[in-house]
Structure 1
Amino acid sequence: MSADPGNRLVSGRALETTATLLACAVIIVPIYWILSNGFKSLVDVFALKWVFTPTLENFQRIFAAPFDIGQKLLNSAIVSLLAVAIAIPVATLAAYAFSRFALRGARALVLAIVFSQFIPPVVIVLPYF
């Protein structure tokens, strides 16, 4: 006689739940570690004993004169917003043209655009250096 199918279903779900929780831990623990180290002093980060006395010293330092990350974040935001402001209208008009008009070679062009998304940008950038 075979085992009860209900028991196999429960054990399969338990295994699936355990694997999911393990995957979540693998993702969440490094993020927690990075965030908690951001609020620690340099001595506390390298201490063998776990000590957590939160401080904002690290964040004050990166926004101060030598690093000035605030200006760099502002520059990145401006470039990103301009790129999005240009890309969305162009992509919208191109999508409309591909869907509305029967163009010769449109299918091949759409496939080329889709497949170009599979190429990592670093592959394209490396030959420039």
Structure 2
Amino acid sequence: MLPRPNAQMARIYKNTDIGLFPNRCEGGTNLVLMEYMACGKPVIASFSSGHKDILTQNNSIPIRRMKPMDIPMGDSTHSIWDDPDLEETITHLELAYQNRGSLLPIGRQAGEDLSKLTWKKMGEKFYTLLTS
């Protein structure tokens, strides 16, 4: 699939049943994950890095089993990422496919939770963290 303009993303999301985000490392909170969930769509996502800011047991299907993945730089390890377990990911996908009705409440909760993450509210939380 080729890249699509942002204006088309809501329509694309609407025509999907579930989002899959087995990311190993996020340099912050995953904006596409947040957009997808804000559309009231359920996700299967790695419970790691920036995803932890968003995912709960009620608004997502988290991939919790991780293996450390060394990222080399020269002769040493530059960083260690969380590599989501492939078997757990496949299990979640199969369960989602076989139980599509159970995805509706997860998607609803995702949309509700993400509607509360406004720029204003997040800015206030960040300011509180900085000043405490």
Instruction: Give TM-score scaled by structure 2 length.
Output: 0.29
Q: RCO higher in 1 or 2 (8 Å CA, sep ≥ 6)?
A: 2
The structure whose residues are more often helix, as a share, is 1
The structure whose residues are more often strand, as a share, is 2
Instruction: Give TM-score scaled by structure 1 length.
Output: 0.30
Whichever of the two has the greater Rg, that structure is 1
